[in-house]
Structure 1
Amino acid sequence: MNAGARRARKIVRELRREAREGELNVVSLIDIFAILVFYLLVNALVVEILPSPKALQLPESIAKEDPKQTVLILITPEDIIVDTKRVMSTADAAASTTTVLPDLKYKLNEETLMQVDGAGAGQLTRGDVNIMADKSIPFHVLKKVMATCSDTRFAKISLAVIEKEGAEAL
C-alpha cells in the first residue's frame, strides 16, 4: 500500500471517530421530561383555587385558612351568581325588605342535604359555602346573603378575601 492510501484511510477513521463523539443520547432526556411532566400533572391537581373574576375586588384579611371546594356565591356590583349561574341582581337584593332572599334560597335549596358527621339521625346540612363579594358591596346585602345561606342549612359560611401584605409576621 502506498502512503497516500494509508493516510486517506487514517483521515476517514478520524472523521468517523469525531462524528461519534458529537452524538447526544436523547433517551435519558426523554426520561427526564416524562418524569417532569408526570410530577407537574400530579401536583397541579392538588392545588385548589377559587375563580377570581377580574371585575371583582376582594377585601384584604390576615386569615390563613385555605379555601375548600364548595358551593361558591359571587356577589358583584351587578349580580349575585351561584356556581356560575346568575340568580338575581345585587340591586334587587339591596331593595328586598326581607332578610332571606327568595331567589337565592330557591337556588341554594337545589344543593343536596347530607348527614352531619357524629350527630343524630335528624341533623342534616348542606355543607360549606364560600362567598366572594366585591369590597364595594354594602354590608346589609352581604348580611342578607349570609342569612339566606344559614336559612338553607349550610353548616359553615366562609368569606373569600385577599391576604394582606405583611400578614406573615402576625
Structure 2
Amino acid sequence: MPIVIPGKRPAKRFEKSKILGGKFARAHKATNAELNVVPMVDMMTMLVIFLLQQFSSTGEVLYMQKDIKLPDARHGQIIEIAPVVAISAEQVVVTGVKVADVRELDSEGGYLNIPALEERLRDEKKRWDFIHQNDPEKKWEGAVNIQADKGVPFRIVKRVLFSCGVAGYFSVNFAALDAGTAVAATAPGGPGEG
C-alpha cells in the first residue's frame, strides 16, 4: 500500500464524478509549511547560558537578605552546608525563622545567651541527627555560618556566638563578600582557627 497524504478522499465510485470528484481535486494544495527554528535555537541558547551562570557547583546557595550588607574579605573559603544565622540591624534569623529582635537584645543586660536562638539551633542539630542516623561515617562537625551586617554592634554578635557555643556549634564561619568578585565566602572564625 503506498503512502498517501492524509485528508478527505472520495469513495472509489465518486472519484470520477463531476460533482464530488472535482471538489476533492481542487482541495489538494501544497501542505509543506516551513518552520523557522532559528529564533527558538537562539532562545534556548540564551536560557542555557543563563542557567549555567546561575549554577552553583557547591550545592549551597547562601540566601543574602536585602537588609544585610556583608563585609568584604580578601581571603576566604567556599561556603559549606550549615545552618545560617543572619544578623541584620533589626532581627536575628536562623534558616529563615526569626528568633529575636536586635533592639530587645541590645536593651537586655546581664545574660549573654539568647534562649530562642539556642532552641532553634538545637532543633537544627536534631534534624541533622535524624537525617544522618543511618550513616555512621558522617560525623557531627557543629558548623554554623554567621551572616552579620557591617553595622551590627559587636555585643550582639558576641551574644550570638555565645548562644551558638552553648547549643553545640563550635565551628563558626562568618559570611563575607569576596573583595575581587563580590561572591559570598566564609571566613573561618571558630576557636583555634586562623
For Structure 1 versus Structure 2, the TM-score category normalised by the shorter chain is 0.5 to 0.7
* Equivalent residue in structure 2 for 1:57, among 43, 54, 69: 69
Question: Hey, what does 1:137 align to over in structure 2?
Answer: 152
CA distance in 2 between counterparts of 1:25 and 1:150 reads 64
The sequence identity of aligned pairs, in percent, is 20
TM-score (norm 1): 0.64
* Equivalent residue in structure 1 for 2:168, among 137, 142, 153: 153
| TM-superposed deviation, 1:137 | 0.8
Contact 1:76–1:137 at 8 Å: present in 2 too? Answer: yes
Greater share of helix: 1
Matched position secondary structure for 2:163: helix
TM-score (norm 2): 0.57
Shift in CA distance, 151/89, structure 1 to aligned 2, threshold 3 Å: same
CA distance in 2 between counterparts of 1:58 and 1:43 reads 22
For residues 59-117 of structure 1, the C-alpha deviation after alignment (integer angstroms, 9 at most, x for no partner) is 121123111232111111111111111111012222242122111111111112548x8
Counterpart amino acid of residue 60 in structure 1: D
Question: Hey, what does 1:109 align to over in structure 2?
Answer: 122
- The answer for unaligned runs of 5 or more in structure 1 is 1-23
Q: Mapping of 1:1-170 within 5 angstroms?
A: 44-47=54-57, 48-94=60-106, 95-111=108-124, 112=126, 114=129, 125=140, 127-165=142-180
CA distance in 1 between counterparts of 2:79 and 2:99 reads 23
Shift in CA distance, 50/27, structure 1 to aligned 2, threshold 3 Å: same
| TM-superposed deviation, 1:130 | 0.9
CA distance in 1 between counterparts of 2:101 and 2:142 reads 25
Matched position secondary structure for 2:100: strand
- The answer for unaligned runs of 5 or more in structure 2 is 1-33, 182-194
Contact 1:126–1:153 at 8 Å: present in 2 too? Answer: no
Matched position secondary structure for 2:119: helix
Measured on the aligned residues, the alpha-carbon RMSD in Å equals 3.5
CA distance in 2 between counterparts of 1:144 and 1:64 reads 24
CA distance in 1 between counterparts of 2:66 and 2:143 reads 24
